[in-house]
Chain A
């Protein structure tokens, strides 16, 4: 059985190669365009994703969920095709990223012959040379943006490809023949491990697809994985009331040995006035969350009199109680939503963009805006006592640096006194997770000092023993005692720091 995935930004080139290859292999040919069509018919408005890339819209939480639904649908559909046909050739923009970790999938990157493509574009779209060139350039740029948006990787990255074919240097026929030969290699034969990996990938994708389609679970941020036929769904603590719906929806999942629903073990609460997914704070928080297997909940703290309208990103109220599977209803509006005057979007301090990135990382635990100060924060935390850490980020941004630092410290102290949870400042968190050149130098220094002390002690055992144990005067005994009392804590301090930094370097909690 061969599964070949051909990736290229130019649809006509990959289609031609995939069709030729499918004919040679005696298999079926499927395209991204067909799956997009099926996804749209299934109620996933993929066009919104495409136009978001075209217009370079700000990522929103809704788009992040849509992206996840689309990827689950496509993976699930590909798996269905692979199970129905002995040989499958799929072509798409970045298809190589769709079935990761399956060793019997052959991933081909196709570089189109630009001159030939230009001529084809001019003929097919009835464009003059300049417009055709402009069309190709803009399309390639947008496909690159799309790959980055959908998969978080660069389109030019060759990681994950088994072969790159340049059609400027070979014919389509030769390219198809080369891939056909490659498919016969033992490296791309099915193995029990690769079949199991594909099965688990498919099972997880089908589960995600089912959950995404159901109105009760469609808006939940769930982590779904499968191993050896056992599907594990992790939900966020604030979704505990809606969790029974997960099992109800997945009751119809075929091929699952067992479905386990677990609540995310812990939540980190990130309290800040503004968020930025590209900031060092974001990197530190997500690094810690990934280490702990925790979700990150965002709480945007704004002054009581701020003009910003409160924003709530995770509305559990929209979800209904458990019951039989309820697919979302078909759209009777022709794609035109109700005519409600949309208010200018509230300034959200980067909340939506950060939520979108957290959703992509599978770490989003909810987000909201809270107007007020320490009292309101404590009340909010007490109303949902499921956090294991509170991180106080950038707050009181309208104040000067000195006042801001003092108020931030006061806020952290106020919260610490009233809740039984650890509260960290961004500096504390940085010290906990960052391991840079400075920390490496300190570790090297402490380790070197410990090594030198041990070498000295073991090299000069007799003189040391004589110094400590010889029956000398009282003054000598006092000196020896002082030496031991000072030396032992010094060694402990150096050794402790050295090993502590080593563990931090190894990311060992």
Chain B
């Protein structure tokens, strides 16, 4: 298992990646951010990520589509859904399709760090990412 958690952040609003990228790097994660979900899916085909953080509502491919694609490519990758339009229906659909967690916007980066740390723990990764968030 790698010590550094590989995390992908997908959100069509650039500000989200700009804020979440450094916040996750602060806990020791290796982070890649994407505003284009199609490009993100292309990257996922090339490289396996430990955690994918994706917005639910996006123009080209929505978060549920990303989730399905990620799970088809790698069963072990944990997917955390983030959205400003959370509903029980969407959340349960995502969880039924294998999402690891569901976070409603607005949220503090710390909320995401805690979710990522739980994902790392579920993957059995005791890297700096997990350690930082638990500190």
Contacts and interface: CB of A to CB of B under 8 A. Distances in A.
A225 B95 CA distance: 41
A33 B89 CA distance: 10
Q: Which of B15, B88, B109 has the most CB of A within 10 A?
A: B88
Given A45-B105, A336-B107, A339-B109, A54 B88 contact: yes
B105 A335 contact: yes
Q: Which of B96, B97, B102 has the most CB of A within 10 A?
A: B96
B86 A334 contact: no
Given A45-B104, A54-B102, A332 B86 contact: no
Interface string A16-40: 0000000000000000010011001
Nearest to A45: B106
Contact of A50 (B95, B97, B104): B104
Contacts of B83: 47
A335 B108 contact: no
B88 A339 contact: no
Given A127-B96, A336-B106, A47 B19 contact: no
- For chain A, the bracket of interface size reads 35 or more
A138 B92 contact: yes
Contacts of A338: 108
A332 B110 CA distance: 19
A179 interface: no
Contact of B108 (A36, A125, A142, A339): A339
Contacts of A342: 108, 110
A46 B104 CA distance: 9
Contacts of B93: 125, 135
B76 interface: no
A143 B16 contact: no
Interface string B67-104: 01000000000000011111111011101110000111
A51 B106 contact: no
Nearest to A53: B88
B93 to A, nearest CB: 5
Given A48-B104, A134-B96, A341-B110, A336 B16 contact: yes
Interface string B5-16: 000000101011
A143 B26 CA distance: 37
Interface of A: 11, 33, 36-37, 40, 45-48, 50-51, 53-54, 125-127, 131-132, 134-135, 138-139, 142-143, 146, 331-342
Interface of B: 11, 13, 15-16, 19-20, 22-23, 26, 68, 82-89, 91-93, 95-97, 102-110
